[in-house]
Structure 1
Amino acid sequence: MMIIDVSDLRKDFTTSRKAGRFRRERRTVSAVDGVSLSVERGELIGYIGPNGAGKSTTLKMLTGVLTPSAGHVRVCGLDPVRSRVQLARRIGVVFGQRSQLWWDLPLRESFSLLRHIYQVPAAEHAARLRVCADLLGLDEFAATPVRQLSLGQRMRGELTAALLHGPEVLFLDEPTIGLDVLSKQAVRDFLGELDRRGDTAVVLTTHDLADIEKLCERLVVIDHGRVVHDGSLDALHAAYGSRRVVVADLDGEWPAGLEIPGAAVTSVAADGRRVTLTLAGNAAGEVVAALARAVPLRDLSVQEPEIEDVVARVYRG
């Protein structure tokens, strides 16, 4: 089932600027410029782009906060603006500074209030809360007022609050920003388990590309309001010329002018005992075998291309 169905989505804003001593000039800026996107039930996608690319504007239109200027959009089969109340019962949202938790109440009391707001049957609510508590380790701070929680604990609470009513799609905006290593790992493990269960589609926007690399098989890149890539990470690497790298430590010096089929020498250390080669393709076996025949090896590693590098090239391009 298609949970999100978007075609030619646009959002224009009118701005004005000074155009003389007494005159101002109005112009139209397209924050989202013809985005088309489809997400199936249970799918987890990464939706990324530089600041100002149109990510947050897209999510606000998908959740009914903003009215599109043009285009077709359906979330859970509903028009997000016209059916905002009905849609709110079928989606979960974790947006930056917006909280669903009551600041002065213990965390568990916030969960109880949300059960009544969404009119979730007690047994359903208890079952979902138990799953979230086990996966996110909520029991140790469930009795603590929200204002006393750390950022990582609060984010785990926000994720739970967004899922207790059983949403069909979950929108996450920077869920791991500012978290320590252990809290990031807990959130990533939880989202990975949510993806494996296949009940809830997840749209994840983040600047932490480690989140994307660990969680998302599909990546949608938006820049200047337009989708510039929609596919797998491997396809992104292939499209923008990413290459694996072989780093070899030698027992002797690297022979000047030596060439290895299937790879190009990128750098040689000053003492000649470490060489870096960039693979022409993805297969490293033949290159490593040729390298072992040509020079005495002490150690060797094959490094995957950095996602930060390829995404930076997408943004620059």
Structure 2
Amino acid sequence: MTASDEGFIDVRGLEKSFTVRRRGGLWRRTAEQVRAVDGVSFALRRGEMAGFIGPNGAGKSTTVKMLTGILTPTGGRLRVAGLDPQRERTRLVRRIGVVFGQRTTLWWDLPLRDSYGLVRRMYRIPKARYEANLERCVELLELGALLDVPVRQLSLGQRMRGDIAAALLHEPDVLYLDEPTIGLDVVSKAKVRDFLVDLNAERGTTVLLTTHDLSDIEHLCKRVVVIDHGRLMYDGALAGLHEIGQSRRTLVVDLERELPPIEKVDGARTVRTEGPRQWLTFPASASAAPLVAQIAARYPLVDLSVREPDIEDVIARMYGT
């Protein structure tokens, strides 16, 4: 593995400050410097898939915008595929793909097929390569029945899949995903996740995933980078993050009838009961399967679900420890 592969995305001491003007009286405004990103450093290998997480306002989107060349850093150094995103933005744009969950890159009144045709012309993708990539994306993301539907008539899940396909038609080396499963139903989430796993395995695409949904991270990423108030808080395995933050998952159990709180389940404790429904918490790094087996063997179980810890709670616990 070469040095360029080791630091395919290389961020060193990255900073970004904005000038914010605040009212200081009836006629006067004062200028204040707000540091959105404060000395962040990390590196991703070629082909790595990492989660980039933190609460709202942490500096995630600002960092991604600097990585794509949209924003210019105030300080620090960064390279993506050996290129400076600001000075070599035109060259870089051919090597990256970007999907923002809240914004579409598709043309609102055009069918998906026509939007993809425009993407082909923008990136000057050879016809044979374009058709092969489009066929692959359509197959894996199940877009065949949607190609002739105007974008404005697509559901959120359909549009998201359409946006991901558009970002991949030119075969980017790096894919930035900002909340790619936001608002999606369970089926759509599963399709998007499976596609990303296949993409990473087959093409070796480097993926930086920004999300509030820890289940996305658990399904897709072995590594997680946590940022808060513009500062790097953690860089490592997800299990290590849970361990540092002492976070807990919640097992929601529905019984046939109302019973006393469930007891003597290894590693879990009942924190709430409401009729036949009970809530048990257990360490986020532990598996729910042994707990379910113990409960099912001793109680009249009807249904259950597992709720992941909220990332804001995880980070709050990290501060506490």
Settle same-fold status: TM greater than 0.5.
yes
SS of the residue corresponding to residue 308 of structure 1 reads: coil
Alignment of 1:184 with 2:189, yes or no, is yes
Q: CA deviation at 1:285?
A: 12
Distance 1:315 1:185 in 2: 29
Quote the residue 1:30 is aligned against.
35
Paired letter, 1:153:
Q
Mapped pair 1:6 → 2:20: no
Structure 2 distance, partners of 1:96, 1:277, is 31
Residues 104 and 243 of structure 1: CA distance in aligned 2, closer, same or farther (over 3 Å): closer
2: CA distance, partners of 1:19 / 1:76: 45
Tell me the SS of whatever aligns to 2:91: helix
Separation (CA, whole Å) in 1 of partners of 2:316 and 2:96: 30
* 1:199 corresponds to: 204
Residue-by-residue CA offset, 1:40-96 (whole Å, 9 max, x unaligned): 111111111111110110011000000000001101111101111111111001124
Aligned residue in 2 for 1:238:
243
Q: 2: CA distance between counterparts of 1:308 and 1:158?
A: 28
| Alignment partner, residue 175 of structure 2 | 170
> 1:85-129: per-residue Cα shift (whole Å, max 9, x none)?
111111001124443322222211221221122111212111111
Q: Give per-residue Cα distances to partners, 1:253-297, cap 9 Å, x unaligned.
A: 99xxxx98x868666989xxx996867x96999999xx99xxx94
Alignment of 1:144-159 (within 5 A): 144-159=149-164
CA displacement at 1:206 relative to structure 2: 1.4
Distance 1:263 1:39, change over 3 A: closer
Give a deviation string over 1:4-46, Cα, whole Å, max 9, x none.
1001000001122233444432221100001112111111111
* TM-fit CA distance, 1:3: 2.1
> Do 2:67 and 2:78's aligned partners in 1 also have CA atoms closer than 8 Å?
yes
Say whether residues 1:75 and 2:75 are aligned partners. no
**2:123 alignment counterpart:** 118
- Cα shift readout 1:191-225 (whole Å, capped 9, x = no counterpart): 12122225211111112222122212111111000
1:141 aligns with 2:141: no
Q: Matched residue of 1:105: which SS? A: coil
Structure 1: which amino acid aligns with 2:112?
A: L
> Within 1, Cα distance between the matches of 2:149 and 2:124?
24
Per the alignment, residue 135 of structure 2 pairs with: 130
Contact persistence 1:43–1:198 (CA under 8 A): no
**Match of residue 312 from structure 1:** 313
- TM-score using structure 2 length: 0.80
The 3 A distance-change label for structure 1 pair 95 and 22 is: same
Deviation at 1:310, TM superposition (A): 6.2
CA contact (8 A) 1:35 1:227 kept: yes
Taking the TM superposition and a 5 Å limit, the aligned residue runs for 1:276-287 are none
Where does structure 2 lack aligned partners over 5 or more consecutive residues? Answer: none
Q: Pick the aligned partner of 1:218 from 204, 223, 228.
A: 223
Output the CA distance in 2 between the equivalents of 1:222 and 1:155. Answer: 25
Identity of aligned residues (%): 53
Residue of structure 1 in register with 2:112 after alignment: 107
Stretch of structure 1 that moved more, 98-107 or 75-84: 98-107
Once the two structures are TM-superposed, the CA of residue 149 in structure 1 deviates from its matched residue by 1.9
Change (3 A) 1:234 1:103: same
1:94 paired residue number: 99
- Does the C-alpha gap of structure 1 residues 3 and 268 become closer, same or farther in structure 2, counting only changes over 3 Å? closer
Q: SS at the partner of 2:50?
A: strand
Mark the structure with the bigger radius of gyration.
1
* CA 1:312–1:198: 2 relative to 1, 3 Å: farther
* TM norm structure 1: 0.81
Kept after mapping to 1: 8 A contact 2:247/2:314: no
RMSD: 3.8
Which residues of structure 1 form unaligned runs of 5+?
A: none
